[in-house]
Amino acid sequence: MIAEVKRRSPSRGDINAQLDPAARAREYERGGAAAISVLTEPAHFAGSEADLVQVRAAVDLPLLRKDFIIDETQIVEARAWGASAVLLIARALPETELLSLAEAARAWEVEPLIEVRTDEELDAALHAKARAVGVNSRNLETLEVDARAVDRLLPRVPSDVIAIAESGMQTVADVERAAQVGADAVLIGSSLSSAVDAESALRALTGVHRRGR
Protein backbone atom coordinates (compact mmCIF):
# COMPACT_ATOMS: atom_id res chain seq x y z
CA MET A 1 0.00 0.00 0.00
CA ILE A 2 1.37 3.39 -1.07
CA ALA A 3 -0.63 6.01 0.83
CA GLU A 4 -0.77 9.52 -0.54
CA VAL A 5 -0.68 12.94 1.09
CA LYS A 6 -2.95 15.06 -1.09
CA ARG A 7 -4.90 18.25 -0.29
CA ARG A 8 -6.76 18.65 -3.57
CA SER A 9 -6.96 17.32 -7.12
CA PRO A 10 -8.24 18.54 -10.48
CA SER A 11 -10.92 15.82 -10.52
CA ARG A 12 -12.28 16.34 -6.99
CA GLY A 13 -11.27 19.85 -5.99
CA ASP A 14 -10.56 20.24 -2.28
CA ILE A 15 -10.02 16.90 -0.55
CA ASN A 16 -8.58 18.01 2.79
CA ALA A 17 -7.43 21.62 2.62
CA GLN A 18 -6.22 21.63 6.23
CA LEU A 19 -4.23 18.39 5.92
CA ASP A 20 -1.20 18.21 8.21
CA PRO A 21 1.30 16.21 6.14
CA ALA A 22 3.47 15.03 9.03
CA ALA A 23 0.55 13.93 11.20
CA ARG A 24 -1.12 12.16 8.27
CA ALA A 25 2.14 10.40 7.39
CA ARG A 26 2.48 9.09 10.92
CA GLU A 27 -1.08 7.74 10.69
CA TYR A 28 -0.18 6.02 7.44
CA GLU A 29 2.93 4.47 9.00
CA ARG A 30 0.93 3.13 11.94
CA GLY A 31 -1.72 1.83 9.52
CA GLY A 32 0.77 -0.33 7.66
CA ALA A 33 1.75 1.70 4.59
CA ALA A 34 4.79 0.36 2.71
CA ALA A 35 5.55 3.81 1.28
CA ILE A 36 4.10 7.32 1.14
CA SER A 37 3.44 9.48 -1.91
CA VAL A 38 3.63 13.24 -1.38
CA LEU A 39 2.23 15.76 -3.86
CA THR A 40 4.58 18.72 -4.26
CA GLU A 41 2.79 20.34 -7.23
CA PRO A 42 1.22 23.63 -6.04
CA ALA A 43 -1.18 24.79 -8.76
CA HIS A 44 -3.44 21.75 -9.13
CA PHE A 45 -2.75 19.78 -5.95
CA ALA A 46 -1.86 22.46 -3.36
CA GLY A 47 1.38 20.64 -2.58
CA SER A 48 4.81 22.02 -1.75
CA GLU A 49 8.43 21.28 -0.92
CA ALA A 50 7.55 21.80 2.73
CA ASP A 51 5.07 18.91 2.65
CA LEU A 52 7.76 16.47 1.53
CA VAL A 53 10.32 17.81 3.99
CA GLN A 54 7.85 17.54 6.87
CA VAL A 55 6.86 13.99 5.95
CA ARG A 56 10.53 12.98 5.68
CA ALA A 57 11.14 14.29 9.20
CA ALA A 58 8.08 12.45 10.53
CA VAL A 59 8.52 8.89 9.17
CA ASP A 60 11.20 6.47 8.00
CA LEU A 61 9.19 4.98 5.11
CA PRO A 62 10.24 5.33 1.45
CA LEU A 63 8.81 8.54 -0.03
CA LEU A 64 7.66 9.26 -3.58
CA ARG A 65 7.80 12.82 -4.85
CA LYS A 66 4.70 13.10 -7.02
CA ASP A 67 4.83 16.05 -9.40
CA PHE A 68 5.15 16.86 -13.08
CA ILE A 69 8.85 16.03 -13.42
CA ILE A 70 10.28 17.39 -16.66
CA ASP A 71 13.82 18.40 -15.68
CA GLU A 72 16.74 16.81 -13.85
CA THR A 73 16.79 19.73 -11.42
CA GLN A 74 13.51 18.46 -9.97
CA ILE A 75 15.12 15.09 -9.31
CA VAL A 76 17.99 16.78 -7.47
CA GLU A 77 15.41 18.70 -5.44
CA ALA A 78 13.55 15.49 -4.65
CA ARG A 79 16.67 13.88 -3.24
CA ALA A 80 17.54 17.00 -1.23
CA TRP A 81 14.04 17.06 0.25
CA GLY A 82 14.23 13.41 1.27
CA ALA A 83 12.44 11.53 -1.51
CA SER A 84 13.32 7.92 -2.28
CA ALA A 85 11.57 7.98 -5.68
CA VAL A 86 10.12 10.37 -8.25
CA LEU A 87 7.14 9.99 -10.56
CA LEU A 88 7.84 10.15 -14.28
CA ILE A 89 4.66 10.33 -16.39
CA ALA A 90 5.28 8.63 -19.73
CA ARG A 91 2.40 10.51 -21.35
CA ALA A 92 4.03 13.84 -20.51
CA LEU A 93 7.50 13.03 -21.82
CA PRO A 94 8.90 12.16 -25.25
CA GLU A 95 10.55 8.74 -25.04
CA THR A 96 14.06 10.17 -25.30
CA GLU A 97 13.40 12.50 -22.35
CA LEU A 98 11.79 9.69 -20.35
CA LEU A 99 14.91 7.58 -20.85
CA SER A 100 17.19 10.49 -19.94
CA LEU A 101 15.28 11.37 -16.78
CA ALA A 102 15.07 7.74 -15.67
CA GLU A 103 18.85 7.45 -16.04
CA ALA A 104 19.35 10.75 -14.19
CA ALA A 105 17.14 9.61 -11.33
CA ARG A 106 19.13 6.42 -10.89
CA ALA A 107 22.38 8.39 -11.04
CA TRP A 108 21.09 10.53 -8.15
CA GLU A 109 20.04 7.33 -6.33
CA VAL A 110 16.34 8.17 -6.61
CA GLU A 111 14.10 5.44 -8.03
CA PRO A 112 12.02 6.46 -11.09
CA LEU A 113 8.42 5.23 -10.86
CA ILE A 114 7.20 5.43 -14.45
CA GLU A 115 3.47 5.95 -14.88
CA VAL A 116 1.71 4.56 -17.96
CA ARG A 117 -1.79 4.13 -19.36
CA THR A 118 -1.30 2.62 -22.82
CA ASP A 119 0.62 -0.29 -24.31
CA GLU A 120 2.96 2.14 -26.08
CA GLU A 121 3.73 3.94 -22.82
CA LEU A 122 4.42 0.64 -21.07
CA ASP A 123 6.81 -0.31 -23.86
CA ALA A 124 8.59 3.04 -23.39
CA ALA A 125 8.81 2.49 -19.62
CA LEU A 126 10.34 -0.94 -20.07
CA HIS A 127 12.76 0.46 -22.65
CA ALA A 128 13.80 2.97 -19.98
CA LYS A 129 14.61 -0.03 -17.74
CA ALA A 130 11.92 0.82 -15.22
CA ARG A 131 12.08 -1.23 -12.04
CA ALA A 132 8.72 0.15 -10.92
CA VAL A 133 5.74 0.88 -13.19
CA GLY A 134 2.48 2.51 -12.19
CA VAL A 135 -0.62 1.87 -14.30
CA ASN A 136 -2.99 4.83 -13.97
CA SER A 137 -6.71 4.13 -14.38
CA ARG A 138 -7.35 7.85 -14.81
CA ASN A 139 -7.27 9.44 -18.25
CA LEU A 140 -5.23 12.61 -17.65
CA GLU A 141 -7.04 14.47 -20.43
CA THR A 142 -10.66 13.71 -19.44
CA LEU A 143 -9.97 12.86 -15.75
CA GLU A 144 -12.29 9.85 -16.10
CA VAL A 145 -11.35 6.56 -14.43
CA ASP A 146 -11.43 3.33 -16.42
CA ALA A 147 -10.17 0.28 -14.49
CA ARG A 148 -9.78 -1.64 -17.74
CA ALA A 149 -6.39 0.03 -18.21
CA VAL A 150 -5.15 -1.76 -15.08
CA ASP A 151 -6.77 -5.03 -16.15
CA ARG A 152 -5.09 -4.83 -19.56
CA LEU A 153 -1.61 -3.58 -18.68
CA LEU A 154 -0.69 -5.01 -15.29
CA PRO A 155 -0.43 -8.59 -16.64
CA ARG A 156 2.08 -7.29 -19.21
CA VAL A 157 4.47 -5.96 -16.57
CA PRO A 158 7.42 -8.38 -16.18
CA SER A 159 7.57 -10.26 -12.90
CA ASP A 160 10.86 -8.61 -11.92
CA VAL A 161 9.31 -5.12 -12.20
CA ILE A 162 7.18 -3.74 -9.35
CA ALA A 163 3.65 -3.21 -10.71
CA ILE A 164 1.51 -0.54 -9.04
CA ALA A 165 -2.18 0.15 -9.66
CA GLU A 166 -3.12 3.83 -9.40
CA SER A 167 -6.29 5.94 -9.18
CA GLY A 168 -9.92 5.31 -8.41
CA MET A 169 -9.44 2.77 -5.61
CA GLN A 170 -11.30 3.16 -2.33
CA THR A 171 -12.45 -0.25 -1.11
CA VAL A 172 -11.03 -3.69 -0.33
CA ALA A 173 -12.82 -4.96 -3.45
CA ASP A 174 -10.91 -2.41 -5.54
CA VAL A 175 -7.60 -3.55 -4.05
CA GLU A 176 -8.51 -7.22 -4.55
CA ARG A 177 -9.33 -6.58 -8.20
CA ALA A 178 -5.91 -5.01 -8.73
CA ALA A 179 -4.24 -7.90 -6.92
CA GLN A 180 -6.02 -10.41 -9.13
CA VAL A 181 -4.39 -8.98 -12.25
CA GLY A 182 -0.94 -8.93 -10.67
CA ALA A 183 -0.49 -5.64 -8.79
CA ASP A 184 2.34 -5.73 -6.27
CA ALA A 185 1.04 -2.52 -4.71
CA VAL A 186 -1.72 0.04 -5.00
CA LEU A 187 -1.46 3.81 -4.63
CA ILE A 188 -4.44 5.37 -2.87
CA GLY A 189 -4.76 9.10 -2.36
CA SER A 190 -8.12 10.82 -2.14
CA SER A 191 -9.97 8.38 0.12
CA LEU A 192 -7.07 8.17 2.59
CA SER A 193 -6.29 11.89 2.55
CA SER A 194 -9.95 12.68 3.30
CA ALA A 195 -10.42 9.96 5.95
CA VAL A 196 -11.22 11.08 9.50
CA ASP A 197 -9.24 8.11 10.85
CA ALA A 198 -6.59 7.44 8.21
CA GLU A 199 -4.84 4.77 10.27
CA SER A 200 -7.95 2.61 10.51
CA ALA A 201 -8.95 3.32 6.90
CA LEU A 202 -5.55 2.19 5.69
CA ARG A 203 -5.39 -0.89 7.91
CA ALA A 204 -8.76 -2.00 6.52
CA LEU A 205 -7.26 -2.07 3.01
CA THR A 206 -4.05 -3.95 3.73
CA GLY A 207 -3.36 -7.67 3.74
CA VAL A 208 -4.68 -8.47 0.26
CA HIS A 209 -2.56 -11.11 -1.46
CA ARG A 210 -1.70 -10.66 -5.11
CA ARG A 211 -1.81 -13.27 -7.82
CA GLY A 212 1.57 -13.80 -9.46
CA ARG A 213 2.29 -12.54 -12.96
Q: Is 129 an annotated catalytic residue? A: no
Residue 198 lies in a domain: yes
Set 16, 136, 137, 190: catalytic member:
136
Residue 211 lies in a domain: no
Q: Is the dihedral of CA 191, 197, 202, 204 positive or negative?
A: negative
pLDDT score at 113 = 98
Q: Is 167 an annotated catalytic residue? A: yes
- Which residue range is the domain that position 126 belongs to? 2-203
Q: Is 103 an annotated catalytic residue? A: no
Q: Is 166 an annotated catalytic residue? A: yes
pLDDT score at 140 = 67
Residue 139 lies in a domain: yes
Q: Is 136 an annotated catalytic residue? A: yes
pLDDT score at 63 = 98
Tally of domains within the chain: 1
- The CATH number given to whatever domain includes residue 37 is 3.20.20.70
pLDDT tens per residue across all 213 residues of the chain: 999 999 998 888 999 989 999 999 999 999 999 999 999 999 999 999 999 999 999 999 999 999 999 999 999 999 999 999 999 999 999 999 999 999 999 999 999 999 999 999 999 999 999 999 999 987 666 767 777 889 999 999 999 999 999 988 889 999 999 999 999 999 998 999 999 999 999 999 988 887 766
Set 9, 16, 37, 167: catalytic member:
167
Entry pTM:
0.93
Under 8 Å between Cβ of 201 and 3: no
Set 137, 166, 190, 193: catalytic member:
166
Residue 212 lies in a domain: no
Residue 7 lies in a domain: yes
pLDDT score at 35 = 98
pLDDT score at 169 = 84
Instruction: Please write down the long-range contacts of 10-18, taking CB distance under 8 Å and 24 or more positions apart.
Output: 10/44, 10/143, 11/138, 11/143, 12/190, 15/189, 15/190, 15/193, 15/194, 16/193, 16/194, 17/46
User: Helices in 17-147 by DSSP H: which ranges?
Assistant: 21-31, 42-45, 49-58, 72-81, 95-107, 119-127
Residue 104 lies in a domain: yes
Q: Is 139 an annotated catalytic residue? A: no
Residue 213 lies in a domain: no
Amino acid at 57: A
